[in-house]
Amino acid sequence: MRRSILLLLVFVATPLAAAQRVVLLSIDGGSDVVLDRLLASGALKGGAFERMARHGFAAASMTPAAVSSTPVSHATMFSGTWPGRHGIAGVNMPGEDLGGDLRNGFAAPAAVDRLWTVAQQAGKRVVCIAAPGAEATSPATTCSETIPFNTISRAQSLGGSGADLASRTEQALGPSPGAASGPLATTGQINEEEYVAREERFAEYVGNAVKLELARGDWDLLLVYVPIIDGLGHRYLLDDPRQAEYGDESGARRKRFADFIARGYRKMDAILGSWLAASPDTNFIVVSDHGMVPTHSVVLLNNALAAAGLRVSGADAEVRAISSGASAQVYVNSKRRFAHGIVADADVPGVVARITGALRELRDPLNGRRIIQTLASGSQLAALHLASANAGDVYASAAPGWGFTGRFDPNVPTVVPSTLSPDARARVSRSPAERQFLEKGNHNELSAGVHGHRPGDPRSQAIFYAIGPAVPRAKGRVAAMVDVAPTVLRALGVPVPSFMEGRPLFVAR
Q: For residue 423, what pLDDT band results from cuts at 50, 70 and 90?
A: very high
Asked if pLDDT for residue 16 goes beyond 90, the answer is no
* DSSP secondary structure string for all residues of 229-240: HHHHHHHH----
- Considering only residues 2 and 383, tell me which one the structure prediction assigns the higher pLDDT: 383
Determine if residue 275 is left, alpha or beta; phi over 0 gives left, psi from -120 to 50 gives alpha, anything else beta: alpha
Maximal CA-CA distance, the chain: 65
Cβ neighbourhood burial of 477 (10 Å; 0-12, 13-18, 19+): middle
Say how far apart CA 286 and CA 222 lie, in whole Å. 12
pLDDT of residue 19: 52
* DSSP secondary structure string for all residues of 136-148: SSSGGG--SEEE-
pLDDT of residue 213: 98
Say how far apart CA 115 and CA 486 lie, in whole Å. 9
Helix (H, G, I), strand (E, B) or coil at 493: coil
Q: Are 182 and 199 in contact (CB under 8 A)?
A: no
Taking residues 236-258, what's their average pLDDT? 97
Say how far apart CA 461 and CA 469 lie, in whole Å. 27
Sign of CA dihedral 194, 232, 181, 436: positive
Asked if pLDDT for residue 467 goes beyond 50, the answer is yes
Tell me the CA distances in angstroms from 178 to 128, 152, 213, one per residue in order.
17, 7, 20
Say how far apart CA 309 and CA 302 lie, in whole Å. 11
Domains of the chain, start order: 22-285+457-492 (3.40.720.10), 297-450 (no CATH)
Per-residue pLDDT tens for 54-110? Answer: 999 999 999 999 999 999 999 999 999 999 999 999 999 999 999 999 999 999 999
